[in-house]
Amino acid sequence: MKPLNAKDIKRLNEALSEQFGIKEPIKGVFFDGAKDKVYWSTKEIERVPLDKMHVDTIGMYFGTWMKDGLRLSIDGSQKIARITTKGTLELTREDWESWLKGQDIDTELPEAYYLVIYEGDCYGCAKASKGKLLNYVPKARRLSVINA
């Protein structure tokens, strides 16, 4: 893994600004991972001699570059949720329960990536496409029963 260069960081911040209305860059260090994945860590990682180690991943999985934009991970979504000014979708309770179970949700939203919000909490990133809000929650993080 290698830290993103200035050009890639600019591209990342432009994508966050365009998709989610982020006005200021995210503080920390971003790393380029396999399969177009992006990882984030605090600046303290710079004190670790990474060039003397074999490292598969560093920090938190932040998102993946797709051909149509940056698809954020659940953790990446939660990291930026409080500073977004657009690109969020507040779910109803029924849609929230479907979302937690890994189901897609019917929508009439324009095609784009959205942060999925329920009662002020962020539950990840989804893509609206062809009348559906596509659910990217990994199977290991889905719920079969919701006790609320």
Of 47, 15, 28, give the one whose Cα is nearest residue 125. 15
Q: What is the DSSP secondary structure assignment for residue 56, as one 8-state letter?
A: S
Is the pLDDT confidence value at 115 over 80? yes
What does pLDDT average to over the chain? 91
Whether the Cβ atoms of residue 123 and residue 117 lie closer than 8 Å to each other: yes
End-to-end alpha-carbon separation of the chain, Å?
41
pLDDT band at 148 (very low <50, low <70, confident <90, very high): low
Four-residue CA torsion sign, 66, 68, 73, 75: positive
Please name the residues in contact with 62: beta carbons below 8 A apart, sequence gap of 6 or more: 30, 38, 39, 40, 72, 73, 75, 76, 79
The overall longest dimension of the chain from CA atoms, in Å, is 51
Tens digits of residue pLDDT in 59-105: 899 999 999 999 999 999 999 999 999 999 999 999 999 999 999 99
